[in-house]
Amino acid sequence: RDARLAAQREGRTADWYVARSLSQPFVGLLNEGATCYLNSLLQVLFMLADVRREVFSFEFSRVLHGEATRCLPLQLSRLFAHMQCGSRRTLSVRPLIHSLGWSHAEASVQHDVHELCRLLLASLADRGVRVAERLFEGELLCTL
C-alpha cells in the first residue's frame, strides 16, 4: 500500500515501483538476534519482481485484517517499499517479526529457512496474498 500511495502521489503506477531502479544500491537487513535465515529469505523474495508485485497489491483493511502491526502482508509490503525506494542503507525486520507473532526469544533462535518459507507463504495466502499459487509450480516434498 505504501508503494501504491507513493506511486499515486507521483502520478506513477505501482508497477513502476516494482520494476524501477536497478541502479539503486541494495539495502541490508539488520540481524535481530538470529534472523540471518529470515533476512536471506526476504532478500530472495524481494529480488523476484512478481513477488513484489503480489505483495504491493495487498490492500489493508483494519476490519478484515486487524491491527496493522500484526498484519504480515502489510508489514512485508512496507519493508519491500523501503527496500525498493527508501534512502536508508539498512532496515530493521522487527515490525515483520512482530507481525509473525514471534517473541524476542523466538527471534533469537535460528529456525529452518524451508519451514519459514512455507510458514511465510501460507500466512500470506491466509490473508489473500497468494504468491505461491500464482508464481511457483511444482510439488514440495519433505523427507528425512
Each residue's pLDDT tens digit, 51-67: 998 899 888 889 988 89
Secondary structure of residue 29 in the 3-state scheme: strand
Residue 140: what pLDDT? 72
pTM of the model: 0.80
Work out the angle between the directed axes of helices 49-56 and 36-47 (0-180°, nearest 10).
90
- Three-state SS for 101? coil
Contact 75, 55 (CB under 8 A): no
Three cell numbers written together for 79: 519493508
Q: How crowded is the C-beta side of 13, counted as CA atoms within 13 Å?
A: 5
Q: For 73-89, how does the pLDDT look when each residue is reduced to its tens digit (9 = 90+)? A: 999 999 999 998 878 89
The mean per-residue pLDDT over the stretch 93-117 comes to 88
C-alpha to C-alpha distance for 40 and 38, rounded to whole angstroms = 5
Domains and CATH numbers, the chain: 2-133 (3.90.70.10)
- Take residue 94 and report the three cell numbers written for it: 522487527
